[in-house]
Amino acid sequence: MSVSRVSATRVALAGGIALSSVMLLSGTAFAHVSVQPQGEAAKGGYATVNIKVPNERDNASTVKLEVNFPLDHPLASVMPQPIPGWKAEVTKSKLSKPLELHGKKINEAVSKVTWTADGSKIGPGQFQQFPLSLGQLPEDTDELVLKAIQTYDNKEVVRWIEEQKEGAEEPQNPAPVLKLSAASADHHGGGAAPTASAGTDEKAGHDDKAAGHEETASASSATDTTARVLGVVGILAGVAGVAFGVLAGRRRSA
């Protein structure tokens, strides 16, 4: 094999690796809507979770999010944390089988929480977290599938409702899934059971914490974007270095 052919092969290989890496880094910008517990989400307990919503469009902003809760594994309590610039609406539905909680029978449960932009939005290259307090978590399942619907200001609607099938590839628009851990001794999981006084105190503290959550989300988004840009720049610089070295070698051989 001639020197020039070897050099061309090396350049092509380096270029292929760089292109694959760039595509991989770019792909991280297109994450799915997901649910992430803060601490433990134990069966039979209470938990605080974040619904993480990335904006996947370059020319539109997210202005609405709807998260649906399974009524076959109902939750008696779903409380959204106030977020500046967003209006939250909790929808309840009748249960075919009453739920017993703390010695009381509950005939309805939260079936949906909808956040609508009210002076804010999730712009391109950004994400937003929507905190929820959940309880009491069911004890007869290992996970909760929270199907979500994301709406953009250009009227586009993305339905994150596809359930993962065992042994199959991840669907294009997977539904957020909250994994439940084994029941803990105190049955409180990642958060205490809500009471009347606790609810009042919690709401009072939410207003102070909400701005912090928003700042954290924006900072995290900026950090992620910076990391991706630096990674791509580094790869391109590496390719340039390889190409320069190959060309220099060819000059010396000549």
- Per the model's pLDDT, the better-predicted residue between 253 and 42 turns out to be 42
At 226-241, the pLDDT tens digits run 445 455 445 555 555 5
pLDDT at 249: 54
Would you place residue 26 in the very low, low, confident or very high pLDDT band (cuts 50, 70, 90)? very low
The structure tokens 């270029």 sit at: 15
Q: Can you tell me the distance from the alpha carbon of 133 to that of 50, in angstroms, rounded to the nearest whole number?
A: 9
Helices (H), the chain: 3-27, 196-253
How is residue 5 written in tokens? Answer: 């052919």
Q: Can you tell me the distance from the alpha carbon of 49 to that of 248, in angstroms, rounded to the nearest whole number?
A: 56
Strands 34-37 and 127-135: unpaired
Q: Can you tell me the distance from the alpha carbon of 189 to that of 69, in angstroms, rounded to the nearest whole number?
A: 19
- Per the model's pLDDT, the better-predicted residue between 161 and 225 turns out to be 161
Do 176 and 37 touch, CB atoms closer than 8 A?
A: no
pLDDT at 180 over 50: yes
pLDDT at 196 over 80: no
Q: Please give the backbone phi and psi of residue 101, each rounded to the nearest 5 degrees, phi first.
A: -140, 125
pLDDT at 164 over 80: yes
At 77-125, the pLDDT tens digits run 999 999 999 999 999 999 988 877 767 788 899 999 999 999 999 999 9
